[in-house]
Structure 1
């Protein structure tokens, strides 16, 4: 599932449209119980998961649908905020409270999130670039670096990430 073409100037819809799409996506998730909006990543693409974090200020549970790919037992996402300014709330929440829950097509998992750094970040960014050949152009739209977020199995959770 390759998005864009290398070298093309990326186009983004207006911010209000992106926010509306997020709201519609959440509504579809609730209506269909996740059966429509969650999918496993394909070898040349990404999948979607529902991430539930603890609010950094409220302590309430907050959920969002994010794209990901698998890296061994870990799942990898980008904290891109729709390629807009600022960090997405889910990433700020995860930084404050790294333990979270994800819902995949085949069930619920407990994870701990962290930002990839150094060689790990370079390797995972390169993998995202294989999936989205226009990744660097989209990332250049943001005033700050886009965090590569690693969701690793929680030490308290059984090893259930591997799909058979």
Structure 2
């Protein structure tokens, strides 16, 4: 099974032919700018499409702290996204409290573990909306 940087590498080399379909769901590649290093950081994330936007969840497996990529996009919301062979610039934002219930339900339907991750932590796990630039 693909994981971590090997997942990113195979996805990039094959335009998502390997790596897009993963564990019964789908992944995109998100590239953020490291808030301390200034380096590009790319990782595969489970996603769903919402109209023209893409949704990802900053779950960190239910850890008490958000994932580094979420802290990076809070510092700089301008990101790069790859979905299969479609590569584009996007602006990331956290879903509003009004939007979140429907978007969370959509994401939990594709990856039910999100619900158990939320139960493990007191942190409100954000849904991130990636809006094509």
TM-score by length of 1: 0.69
Q: In terms of Rg, which structure is larger?
A: 1
From 100, 103, 117, the equivalent of 1:138 is 117
SS in 2 for 1:140: helix
For the structure 1 residues 46 and 116, does the alpha-carbon distance in structure 2 shift closer, same or farther, using more than 3 Å as the test?
Answer: farther
Give me the CA root mean square deviation: 2.3
For residues 135 and 103 of structure 1, the distance between their equivalents in structure 2, rounded to whole angstroms, comes to 22
State how 1:2-151 maps to structure 2 within 5 Å. Answer: 24-31=3-10, 33=13, 34-39=16-21, 46-133=25-112, 135-151=114-130
Deviation at 1:26, TM superposition (A): 1.4
Aligned positions, number:
129
Residue segments in structure 2 that go unaligned for 5+ positions in a row: none
User: In the TM superposition, what whole-angstrom CA distance separates every residue of 1:83-137 from its partner, at most 9, and x where no partner exists?
Assistant: 2231101110011000010111122111000000121112211222333445423
For the structure 1 residues 105 and 134, does the alpha-carbon distance in structure 2 shift closer, same or farther, using more than 3 Å as the test?
Answer: closer
For residues 86 and 100 of structure 1, the distance between their equivalents in structure 2, rounded to whole angstroms, comes to 21
From 153, 156, 159, the equivalent of 2:132 is 153
Of Structure 1 and Structure 2, which has the larger fraction of its residues in strand? 2
Q: 1:39–1:104: 8 Å Cα contact kept in structure 2?
A: no
TM-score by length of 2: 0.84
What stretches of structure 1 move > 6 A for 4+ residues in a row? none
For residues 98 and 10 of structure 2, the distance between their equivalents in structure 1, rounded to whole angstroms, comes to 41
Residue segments in structure 1 that go unaligned for 5+ positions in a row: 1-20, 155-164
For residues 54 and 27 of structure 2, the distance between their equivalents in structure 1, rounded to whole angstroms, comes to 10
Deviation at 1:36, TM superposition (A): 1.3
